[in-house]
């Protein structure tokens, strides 16, 4: 499976020592007793809880968990990585709906937005329609596409959408490059630019700031991400049905969906990851499955851990395997 992350790190960075403060903060468990029951769903949830570090999830069967609710530390604030890009998509489409932006507008792709972690746009220059930029952001989690869209929609407007949705735990940076700059030692809000980031990659510092912090980060809780998807997929933040249709279309393109979706089901989701960044690891996957074309199954799965507790690749596989079995079990329980 192709490994993608918020950072596309050079080998020297992967070997650098971990900053001790990078471990996530813990919160009291709030486990639903039904999650430990017998059968496929209970066993899969138990496997997820056994992941190293700080696993967290919230699973709603039916709107608002009307059929069933399963939770483990859903209020634990964790690093959510690229799962935050759903908010960029949502606000960008609101800007289009308000006719402040247009999906066929051509946006610049150049060194002003050049960034690591950009599997689609990194080697490109010129201009691309906004629609393709948004698709690159969601399908392949492209950081350059994210920063182009964030700058065009406006970081403060994106935060305004998060506030409107009452997602109090969610914290996002102005751009992914501003976040990277801060982690590598720049003052909060500073963008090192592409030349500056290249210098950091060529001469990595001995330590970094923790990716999960209170200044410049990509953070949230499983509870808030489930709240977001239940609201946005109802169309709560859009005025026109066509906007919701476009949001769903792009949100359903995320590459990781194929890794966990039961056959014949529709999923709207976005995940993210950081792999062995000075010993810090994170995985996230959040969204909604439509069971039998009518029952929403809304979910968020998060885990942050240190490399000393588990290597990235096997934990990633266990993460996806557990989620795939959880979603299959949820579907069977609703049949």
Query: pLDDT for 37-92, tens place per residue?
Result: 435 999 999 999 999 999 999 999 999 999 999 999 999 999 999 999 999 999 99
Residue-level pLDDT at 87:
98
Q: How confident is the model at residue 28 (pLDDT cuts 50, 70, 90)?
A: very low
The pLDDT score that the predictor gives to residue 112 is: 97
Confidence of residue 2 (pLDDT cuts 50, 70, 90): very low
Q: List Cβ neighbours of 127 (8 Å cut-off, separation of 6 or more).
A: 106, 107, 108, 109
Helices first, then strands: H and E counts in the chain: 12, 9
Task: Give me the pLDDT at residue 326, please.
Answer: 98
CA distances from 176 to 41, 145, 164, 169, 180 (A): 36, 10, 22, 18, 6
The predicted-structure confidence for 282-333, as pLDDT tens digits, reads as follows: 999 999 999 999 999 999 999 999 999 999 999 999 999 999 999 999 999 9
DSSP per position, 71-130? EESTT--EE-GGGGHHHHHHHHHHHHHTTSS-TT-EEEESTTS--SS-TTTTT--EEEEH
pLDDT of residue 29: 37
Instruction: Provide the pLDDT for residue 39.
Output: 58
All structural domains of the chain with their residue ranges: 11-334
* CATH architecture of the domain with range 11-334: 3-Layer(aba) Sandwich (3.40)
Place of tokens 């966990």: 260
What are the pLDDT digits (tens) for 103-157?
Answer: 999 999 999 999 999 999 999 999 999 999 999 999 999 999 999 999 999 999 9
Q: Tell whether the model's pLDDT for residue 268 goes beyond 50.
A: yes
What pTM, to 2 d.p., does this model score?
0.91
**Res 205: pLDDT:** 96
Q: In the predicted model, is pLDDT for residue 4 greater than 70? A: no
CA distances from 290 to 41, 125, 180, 232, 284 (A): 17, 38, 35, 14, 20
Residue 289: other Cβ atoms inside 10 A: 22
Q: What is the pLDDT of residues 231-243, one digit of tens each?
A: 999 999 999 999 9
Spatial distance between the Cα atoms of 316 and 44, rounded to a whole number of angstroms: 15
Residue-wise pLDDT for 192-228, tens only, equals 999 999 999 999 999 999 999 999 999 999 999 999 9
């Amino acid at each position: 499976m192709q490994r993608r992350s918020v950072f596309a790190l050079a080998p020297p960075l992967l070997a650098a020592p971990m900053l001790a403060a990078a471990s996530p903060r813990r919160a009291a468990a709030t486990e639903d007793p039904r999650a430990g029951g017998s059968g496929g769903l209970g066993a899969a949830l138990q496997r997820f809880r056994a992941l190293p570090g700080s696993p967290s999830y919230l699973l709603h069967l039916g709107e608002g968990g009307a059929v069933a609710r399963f939770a483990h530390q859903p209020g634990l604030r964790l690093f959510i990585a690229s799962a935050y890009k759903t908010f960029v998509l949502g606000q960008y489409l609101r800007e289009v709906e308000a006719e402040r932006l247009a999906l066929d507008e051509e946006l610049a792709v150049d060194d002003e937005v050049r960034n690591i972690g950009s599997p689609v746009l990194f080697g490109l220059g010129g201009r691309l329609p906004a629609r393709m930029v948004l698709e690159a952001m969601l399908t392949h989690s492209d950081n350059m596409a994210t920063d182009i869209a964030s700058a065009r929609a406006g970081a403060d407007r994106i935060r305004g959408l998060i506030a409107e949705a009452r997602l109090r735990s969610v914290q996002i940076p102005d751009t992914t490059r501003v976040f990277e700059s801060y982690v590598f030692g720049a003052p909060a809000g500073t963008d090192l630019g592409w030349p500056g980031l290249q210098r950091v990659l060529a001469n990595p510092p001995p330590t970094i700031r923790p990716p999960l912090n209170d200044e410049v980060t990509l953070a949230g809780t499983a509870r808030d991400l489930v709240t977001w998807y239940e609201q946005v997929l109802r169309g709560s933040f859009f005025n026109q049905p066509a906007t919701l249709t476009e949001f769903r279309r792009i949100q359903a393109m995320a590459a990781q969906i194929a890794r966990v979706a039961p056959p014949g089901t529709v999923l709207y989701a976005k995940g993210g990851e950081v792999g062995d960044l000075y010993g810090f690891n994170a995985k996230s996957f959040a969204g909604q499955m439509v069971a039998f074309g009518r029952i929403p199954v809304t979910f968020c799965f998060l885990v942050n851990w240190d490399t000393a507790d588990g290597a990235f690749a096997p934990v990633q596989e266990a993460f996806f395997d557990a989620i795939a079995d959880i979603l299959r079990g949820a579907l069977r329980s609703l049949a």
